[in-house]
Amino acid sequence: MEDELSSVTRRINPQVTQLLHAWQQGDLLARDRALEAMYAELLALARQRYAGQGQGTMQPVALVNESLLRIISSSPDYKDRSHFVAVAMLKMRSVLIDHLRAQSSQKRGGGHDQRVTLSLLTDPTPQGDSLAELMTLQQGLDRLGELDRRMASVLELTYFAGMSRQEIAVLLDVSVPTVDRDLRFGRAWLNEFIG
């Protein structure tokens, strides 16, 4: 996943970072141009990651559109285009989880009493029953975030946004060994939570 994300972000217009910085300064035309330049790449990532997940999940176009609406309504604080893509991927995951929660509460009263593994950390593409696993994993990440926000962020940025350890270290302003330690302890904590 990291390689395919890096490949996509390298193909994105290099001016996107400049447009994102102009958006931070309040330039709405720059925002629109940045989103237009990134749309096809985000759609390709959504199709690679979430397409064909069975009945009841969101189509990639709807997933990207809803994610971009959430991005527009939040503060545009992006360091560069890679950071923006990572945030967009996390927003897509959040949109999908919200959609699944709504479906679950309508169908079953909201309960998810299934055995879950951390397989989604090595292959975070939900398929079939693993959609419920994704929701359980999200609950674990939410709980971990209450205890240690950075550790939860490191896991999310690694496995769901596809960022490298070096990119995460720069983004979070920590060392690579700190990222490695957070990954190790975060995985162990999630295993304990899910186990």
Q: Is the pLDDT of residue 146 over 90?
A: yes
Closest to 169 in 3D by CA, of 186, 185, 150? 150
At 67, the amino acid letter reads S
Pick the most confident of 41-55, 106-120, 138-152.
Answer: 138-152
Q: What is the per-residue pLDDT across 105-134, written as a single tens digit (0 to 9) for each?
A: 666 544 444 444 445 455 555 444 456 677
Confidence of residue 31 (pLDDT cuts 50, 70, 90): very high
Element (H, E) at 100: helix 81-108
Q: Per-domain residue ranges for the chain?
A: 2-194
Q: Helix H segments across 1-76?
A: 2-11, 16-24, 28-50, 60-72
Given the structure tokens 């330690």, which residue do they identify? Answer: 181
Residues 6+ apart with CB under 8 A from 177: none
> Cβ distance 52 to 129 under 8 Å?
no
Structure tokens at 47: 């199709």
**Mean model confidence pLDDT for the chain:** 79
Average pLDDT over residues 169-192: 93
Q: Mean pLDDT check: name the lowest of 50-54, 84-88, 175-179, 182-186.
A: 50-54
**pLDDT 10s digits, 53-106:** 544 567 889 889 999 999 998 888 888 888 898 899 889 888 888 887 777 666
Give CA separation, 166 vs 13, 89, 154, 184, 188, in Å. 22, 18, 11, 16, 21
